[in-house]
């Protein structure tokens, strides 16, 4: 029986990029079906919004202000 590296080298590496992507999608779909215990998907935006206020910044201005203060503390 061939291992994954041999199969890739002899067959998959010869496929055009579009075919490789289709194959990857099929493999990932198959793997996802095997993992029913997988967690519910959460968007990055929802993740950031769920962080406590002390762990996330609501605006880029808040992040800039924090970084500026940190940089100034290094100099003193």
Query: Is there a single domain that holds both residue 29 and residue 48?
Result: no
55 lies in which domain range? 44-75
Residue 56: which residues within 8 A CB-CB, separation 6 or more?
Answer: 48, 49
The encoded tokens of residue 47 equal 């993740």
Q: What is the pLDDT along the chain (76 residues), one digit of tens a residue?
A: 788 899 999 999 999 998 999 999 888 888 877 665 556 777 888 876 776 665 567 788 888 888 888 888 887 6
Instruction: Assess if residue 66 is contained within a domain.
Output: yes
Handedness of CA 33, 35, 37, 42 (dihedral sign): negative
Q: 20 near 12, Cβ under 8 Å?
A: yes
This prediction's pTM: 0.42
The structural domain count of the chain equals: 2
Asked if residues 23 and 13 have their Cβ atoms less than 8 Å apart, the reply is no
Is position 39 within any domain?
no
């Amino acid at each position: 029986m061939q291992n994954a590296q041999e199969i890739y080298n002899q067959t998959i590496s010869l496929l055009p990029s579009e075919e490789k992507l289709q194959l990857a999608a099929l493999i990932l779909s198959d793997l996802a079906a095997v993992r029913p215990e997988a967690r519910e998907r959460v968007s990055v935006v929802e993740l950031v919004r769920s962080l406590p206020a002390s762990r996330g910044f609501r605006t880029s201005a808040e992040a800039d202000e924090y970084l500026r203060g940190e940089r100034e503390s290094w100099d003193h």
